[in-house]
């Protein structure tokens, strides 16, 4: 019903007062906040999950990144408003549809971004610097790297790595290189799958929406997806059986989580290739029931193995 209603809104129509709060919330893309769940990786694998102070700090860090990420989304929508109006799906977003005026969107950007930075400052200097770096990186992506083939996806993946490292900074624990590597590879996997969906969906008009898309093709993207898929699985499997990791985490059975990782990747590939999905990784992850169950089972199994799997 919501999608059907939004399709009737013309670019020149001002936002109705009754729907403006809803449109402003949509402008912030709260569904995308689930990407920031990667901040909880450090607290899970450092075995501080049941430390109340650490947990509260990670929750605050999560809120900070949600705010600054929303500010980055608003900036991106302001930058791409004309292109989004020619996109079959993005043209229904609040700014390109005309439901939220650019002047109001800029005010939202300043308020939300400032709130996120203020919250980051309360968590310490190192975390604040990382949040500021994330914002600068998003500006560079929006105005520069977004148009560079391959680099555009690598830039997006770097944003996930920043989130993963921020989770460690928030509770002052060392961040494992394995967490960085696995996060980067998994983000590359989803990023290239997203580009594939865009190329297939937009077809001949892909280059009109974004210059970098003219350099991609489904075949080329399939090759990169295949490389990154294999690399992700090998990296995670190596991590689970690494002697230093087993010694540090205190369990020899983390490899039991590998089947969940394999199923999640295979399920994602199935949705991309057989169901023509993958354009919105967050929506896909939050709407596909087998994927949701798989992620929950992975997290539960990992927690059981880490905290109770090998008592000493």
pLDDT single digits (tens) 133-143: 999 999 999 88
Lowest pLDDT segment from 2-6, 69-73, 220-224, 280-284: 2-6
Residue-range definition of the domain harbouring residue 260:
176-312
Question: Which of the four pLDDT bands, split at 50, 70 and 90, describes residue 11?
Answer: very low
The pLDDT of 162-188, averaged and rounded, is 93
Per-residue tokens: 214: 């003219």
Looking at the structure, do residues 165 and 267 belong to the same domain, yes or no? Answer: no
Q: Are the C-beta atoms of residues 305 and 250 closer than 8 Å to each other?
A: no
**Is the confidence at residue 3, as pLDDT, over 50?**
no
**Is the confidence at residue 185, as pLDDT, over 60?**
yes
Domain assignment of residue 234, yes or no: yes
Looking at the structure, do residues 132 and 196 belong to the same domain, yes or no? Answer: no
Looking at the structure, do residues 90 and 129 belong to the same domain, yes or no? Answer: yes
Average pLDDT, the chain: 87
The pLDDT of 141-149, averaged and rounded, is 88
Looking at the structure, do residues 202 and 120 belong to the same domain, yes or no? Answer: no
Looking at the structure, do residues 143 and 33 belong to the same domain, yes or no? Answer: yes
Domain assignment of residue 13, yes or no: no
Question: How confident is the model over 151-161, as pLDDT tens digits?
Answer: 999 999 999 99
Question: How confident is the model over 37-90, as pLDDT tens digits?
Answer: 999 999 999 899 999 999 999 999 999 999 999 999 999 899 888 888 877 778
Domain assignment of residue 3, yes or no: no
pLDDT at 133: 96
Q: Domain boundary at 147, 175, 203, which?
A: 175
How many angstroms separate the CA atoms of 267 and 269, rounded?
5
Distances (CA, A) of 105 to 33, 63, 108, 113, 243: 19, 20, 5, 12, 51
Looking at the structure, do residues 28 and 170 belong to the same domain, yes or no? Answer: yes
Looking at the structure, do residues 243 and 160 belong to the same domain, yes or no? Answer: no
pTM score, whole prediction: 0.84
Question: Which of the four pLDDT bands, split at 50, 70 and 90, describes residue 309?
Answer: low
């Amino acid at each position: 019903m919501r999608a059907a209603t939004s399709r009737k809104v013309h670019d020149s129509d001002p936002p109705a007062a009754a729907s403006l709060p809803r449109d402003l919330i949509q402008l912030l893309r709260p569904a995308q906040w689930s990407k920031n769940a990667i901040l909880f990786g450090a607290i899970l694998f450092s075995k501080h999950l049941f430390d109340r102070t650490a947990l509260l700090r990670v929750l605050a860090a999560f809120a900070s990144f949600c705010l600054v990420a929303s500010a980055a989304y608003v900036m991106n929508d302001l930058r791409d408003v004309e292109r989004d109006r020619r996109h079959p799906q993005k043209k229904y977003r609040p700014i390109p549809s005309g439901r939220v005026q650019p002047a109001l969107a800029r005010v939202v950007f300043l308020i939300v971004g400032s709130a996120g930075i203020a919250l980051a400052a309360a968590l310490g200097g190192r975390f604040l610097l990382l949040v500021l770096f994330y914002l600068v990186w998003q500006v560079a992506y929006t105005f520069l790297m977004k148009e560079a083939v391959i680099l555009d996806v690598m830039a997006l993946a770097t944003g996930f790595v920043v989130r993963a490292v921020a989770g460690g900074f928030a509770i002052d624990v060392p961040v494992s290189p394995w967490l960085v590597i696995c996060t980067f590879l998994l983000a590359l996997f989803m990023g290239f799958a997203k580009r594939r969906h865009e190329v297939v969906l937009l077809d001949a008009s892909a280059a009109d929406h974004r210059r970098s898309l003219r350099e991609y093709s489904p075949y080329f993207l399939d090759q990169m997806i295949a490389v990154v898929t294999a690399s992700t699985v090998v990296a995670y499997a190596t991590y689970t059986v690494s002697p230093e990791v087993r010694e540090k985490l205190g369990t020899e059975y983390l490899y039991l989580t590998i089947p969940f990782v394999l199923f999640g990747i295979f399920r994602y590939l199935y949705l991309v290739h057989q169901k023509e999905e993958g354009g919105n990784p967050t929506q896909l992850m939050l709407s596909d029931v087998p994927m949701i169950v798989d992620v929950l089972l992975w997290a539960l199994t990992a927690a059981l193995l880490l905290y109770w799997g090998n008592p000493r």
